[in-house]
Structure 1
Amino acid sequence: MRMVYDLLRLHFEEGASGRRIAESLGMSRDTVADYLMRARFAGITWPLPVDADDAALKALLFPVETTVVHRKPMPDWAEVHKAMQKSGATLTALHEEYLAQHPDGMARSYFCQCYAEWRQGLRSYMRQTHVAGERVAVDYSGMLMQITGPDGEQRSAQIFVGVLGASSLTYVEAHWSQRLPDWIAAHVRMFEYFGCTPKVVVCDNLKAAVTKASRTEPQINDTYQHLARHYSMTVLPTRARKPKDKAKVENGVRLIQRWILFKLRHETFSSLEQLNAAIRPLLETLNQATFQKTGGSRRSWFEAIDRPAMRPLPDQRFEYAEFARVRVGPDGRFTYQDCIYSAPFALCNKEIDIRASSATVELLHQSKRVASHVRASPGAPPTIDPLHMTSAHRYFASWSSDSAIATASEFGEHVGTFMLRLLEGITVKELGYRATIGLRKMVTEFGADRMDAACAVALRTPPASLSTLRFILRSNLDRLPNADHDDEDHIDHENIRGADYYR
């Protein structure tokens, strides 16, 4: 109370003005005026009685039953609190608007103090200041709902809850599990229910959202991060075991348990769709309910505060996709969920990222899309793109005996016939491919004309073989006179026995 003694001394002994007392003691003029008004109402004179101690003086200035008398007009604090939810709002700007209506109103410091005292009377879920349209908090209710199937088997349905920060507009739905597909689908339907998207989504550290919890550098699930990127949002996980980081949705969970789940406890549901159909009207009743202290409802506050500050939905609906990291084998193939796919040959023995939707499997390398496949079902044959192979591998994959014979016929009639004879005794594709490559090399080395002549000579001495053909070419037997004549053109002579002699 030392400051109060000095204040009374300067006022009674020195006759100082309120401004001078405020400057001398480092107090606001409103505070000085308030103390002087209390001293006048209490009948305090100077000098103080000898037996007046701090407790007695405080009792005179602040009687317990005394009603607070405001010298200045008070604003509507509910309207001030509602305005503070809007983006960019400050108490300084609201105080200036207050002074425009009441030029002799309270100073800014007292204005802020009164607003802080008024806020202390609000419920806990409204004590945090949430910027309009900034964030939505999501969580699961600990209370489950039972669904009885046609066969009498009961299954538990999870209850997903999302609450907007400023307006407290709530979204509720039931689905089967807390796994990634259900978690992502619930977010998509929640944003469609809002008709717009916030800037931040605050979530717990469940596995569907966070792969590694950390206070400083949490690792977000790739699919969840993909969802945030699609809606231009930021995922903000709470600290581990700190539920107050998402107090808005914690209170929202309690409300839906009382307003919705408790009221449905006696009903029997045979499907998830039936349960969600029963939840929707009760959810609308909750969002239309009037706030007890601030007036309005969650829906009206959403339309007035949150919706104007939120982003519109993207043109395209979010497509669910899962991400994985795989290593491409030396054969240019990789396996994803029991299915084999090809990758560009330049990525052999390298790690790549996979983005798999319901229809496609996309290959990402260094954050760039390098290829895609139609998604195969488990057990299907390997999905191979010929363009992913090297030219040699592509040629081997497309090789067939018919194509080899057709290609050989382009070099000459006898070459085609020789290739046909050569492949007749080959049953393994690799051997046929090697024979085709060997024949092509000899065509390149000796030319098509000599090759055709050499094949004509080789056909007279079956069986057909590449070694025989190469011997003919290197020995120049194809260049001998009449080398390409048929057997019937041979000269008959009495000294020539002929083939029949040896039979």
Structure 2
Amino acid sequence: MDIYAILQHLRSGASNRGIRRELGVDRRTAQKYRAWAEEYGLLKGTLPPLEELYQLVEETLPVKEPPQSQSTVEPYREVVVKLREQNVEISAIKARLEERGYQGSYMAVWRFVKQLEPVQPDVTVRVETAPGEEVQVDFGYAGRMRDPANGEERKTWAFVMTLSWSRHQYVEFVFDQKIPTWLRLHRNAFAFFGGVPQRVVIDNLKAGITQACWDDPQVQATYRECAEHYGFLVAPCKPRTPQHKGKVEKGGVHYVKRNFLGGREATTISQANRDVRVWCMTTAGQRAHGTTRKQPLVQFEAVEQAALKPLPETPYDMAEWKQVKLHRDCYVVFDNAYYSAPFRLVGQRLRVRGGSQEVRLYTGDYHLVATHERAREAGERLTNPAHLPPDKVPGLILDRAACQAVAEDIGFSTTALVGRLLADPVMDRLSMVRRLLRLREQVGDERLEAACERALRFDEVSYKTVKRILSQGLEAEGENVVTAEIPPAERFVRGAQELLGHLWSGASWN
């Protein structure tokens, strides 16, 4: 009841009936205030300040409260309090009270509990930031747009990055929310602003946060790398609290939907991105913002742009991180290509960082174990021979030309022997040549060359002969014959009498 309004009518000479007609106050109530005002001299002269007037009312004109009936649950107050401290539901509390003799209704218990636990108002505290301190990022569904590649309409999302101080914003439409897209959008937005804020506030989408946890959120590895490159801090919102990034939630995504996309006919995504870039600099940038009452673009150019961190010399090399298994052939599969890793890690899961120029392989604790150039086409196999078991390497890298080159490096005789083996028109002797050339690791080039020279001298061109020469140390024995000595040839081994004794007549045998 407005006591000040009643006093004004009383001081103007209005009757109780007139006050009832003007203010809706009962005539008896009006008479009570008239008597009270006369008692304290309030009908004439200057009224005291408003706060003193209401204090006088509280002290001298107390309001009689209607009598309150006691709740039927009151005798069980201690029991109810104890059960609620244990988070027991109201229906269960009623059952426990009935066990103690309670005969009242469920609503009586409900009202009693609500009086014990008054609802706290949902209070929102607005947080303001300094220029260049923060941007807020969000995705919002933007309907369907045509794909320029094939003309088909596809689901589209609006990426919005809003500077928290000036409210200037960057908008781009995309067909997905994958990690490469997420990183490319950040790079484009920072280039649009010409600088980097200190902090980026995001929600908990998988491209940025792998584990949404308020106490210890896990930042996606690629996004962490991007943040380190540009020098900004990642600030994830508490799960299911979109109000923590309200500047982009309401003034960004919703504004884009209502204003730029509102009533817009379907178009290609490339055309929409060209148009929205202009819209950010005109309609959105030059409007009087509903909260700040200032033009975002003007505020940005006058103050906030200079407060941003400078861009790094080179844009972030967008990389994709994956966990993959190192298979028994010593290769991992990444983006439909094959990359080798040390054979000792076969069976383990490795972390792969795929950049635009190179691919790096790490152990689970981020220890770098391999670096390769990025494959240029699907199915390409990139191999570092040092990653393979030593006994398997020659069979992989020594083809016919490579074997001939190795032989030439050893010497003339080795080259000749290898050439004769590879020239066999019937048998493929490449594996024999590989085993022969591996002998240099055991005996050295000089001994292998001497052994090949001896084998050629006796026309024994084989791996087994060369190896036997080396094992017996015969490569340095000059003209010694390698094989067993052949006895002199005879016309017949047996005599004529032995063969034809029953025909022997003493005649000579021609």
With the shorter chain as reference, the TM-score category is: 0.5 to 0.7
* 1:351-370 per-position Cα deviation (integer Å, ceiling 9, x unaligned): 54321123321234554655
Rg larger in 1 or in 2?
2
Structure 1: how far apart are the matches of 2:346 and 2:130? 50
- Deviation larger for 239-248 or 135-144: 135-144
2:256 aligned residue: 256
Paired residue type of 1:258: R
Contact 1:332 1:343 in 2 (8 A): yes
Paired residue type of 1:254: H
2:351 aligned residue: 353
**Secondary structure, counterpart of 1:236 in structure 2:** strand
Paired residue type of 1:279: V
Contact 1:159 1:174 in 2 (8 A): yes
State which of 270, 274, 277 in structure 2 corresponds to 1:273. Answer: 270
- Equivalenced residues, count: 380
- Structure-to-structure mapping, 1:30-45, within 5 angstroms: 42-43=47-48
Change (3 A) 1:454 1:469: farther
Contact 1:414 1:456 in 2 (8 A): no
Paired residue type of 1:203: I
Q: Say yes or no: does 1:470 pair with 2:468.
A: yes
1:427 aligned residue: 428
Paired residue type of 1:300: V
- Structure-to-structure mapping, 1:308-323, within 5 angstroms: 308-323=306-321
Q: Say yes or no: does 1:206 pair with 2:211.
A: no
**Where do 5+ consecutive residues of structure 1 fail to align?**
1-39, 60-123, 499-503
Contact 1:198 1:233 in 2 (8 A): yes
1:139 positional shift: 0.9
Paired residue type of 2:145: Q
Structure 2: how far apart are the matches of 1:332 and 1:476? 41
Contact 1:159 1:173 in 2 (8 A): yes
Q: Say yes or no: does 1:54 pair with 2:55.
A: no
Paired residue type of 2:165: A
**Secondary structure, counterpart of 2:274 in structure 1:** helix
**Secondary structure, counterpart of 1:434 in structure 2:** helix
1:179 aligned residue: 178
Change (3 A) 1:421 1:238: same
1:215 aligned residue: 214
1:331 positional shift: 4.9
Change (3 A) 1:310 1:126: farther
**Where do 5+ consecutive residues of structure 2 fail to align?**
1-44, 64-122, 493-510
Change (3 A) 1:136 1:448: closer
Structure 1: how far apart are the matches of 2:466 and 2:288? 100
**Secondary structure, counterpart of 1:137 in structure 2:** strand
1:119 aligned residue: none
2:160 aligned residue: 161
- Structure-to-structure mapping, 1:395-414, within 5 angstroms: 395-401=394-400, 404=403
1:280 positional shift: 2.7
Q: Say yes or no: does 1:456 pair with 2:457.
A: yes
* 1:194-250 per-position Cα deviation (integer Å, ceiling 9, x unaligned): 111111111111222222111111112222222211111111111221111111111
1:350 positional shift: 5.2
Paired residue type of 1:320: M
**Secondary structure, counterpart of 1:282 in structure 2:** helix
Structure 2: how far apart are the matches of 1:222 and 1:162? 21
Structure 2: how far apart are the matches of 1:149 and 1:155? 11
1:103 aligned residue: none
1:188 positional shift: 1.5
1:376 positional shift: 1.6
**Secondary structure, counterpart of 1:286 in structure 2:** coil
Contact 1:125 1:247 in 2 (8 A): no
2:305 aligned residue: 307
1:68 aligned residue: none
1:178 positional shift: 1.9
Contact 2:168 2:300 in 1 (8 A): yes
Q: TM-score, normalised by structure 2?
A: 0.61
Contact 1:321 1:357 in 2 (8 A): yes
1:115 aligned residue: none
Contact 1:328 1:349 in 2 (8 A): yes
Paired residue type of 2:273: N
Identity of aligned pairs, percent?
26
Structure 2: how far apart are the matches of 1:294 and 1:413? 88
**Secondary structure, counterpart of 1:235 in structure 2:** strand
* 1:271-298 per-position Cα deviation (integer Å, ceiling 9, x unaligned): 2121122223332222111246754311
1:389 positional shift: 4.9
- Deviation larger for 232-241 or 333-342: 333-342
Contact 2:209 2:220 in 1 (8 A): yes
Contact 1:125 1:251 in 2 (8 A): no
1:90 aligned residue: none
1:224 aligned residue: 223
Change (3 A) 1:353 1:53: same
RMSD over equivalenced CA pairs, Å: 4.5
1:6 aligned residue: none
* 1:142-201 per-position Cα deviation (integer Å, ceiling 9, x unaligned): 442533769764223211112111121122221222222222222221112211111111
1:330 positional shift: 5.5
* 1:48-81 per-position Cα deviation (integer Å, ceiling 9, x unaligned): 99x955266899xxxxxxxxxxxxxxxxxxxxxx
Change (3 A) 1:54 1:230: same
Paired residue type of 1:230: H
Structure 1: how far apart are the matches of 2:269 and 2:361? 36
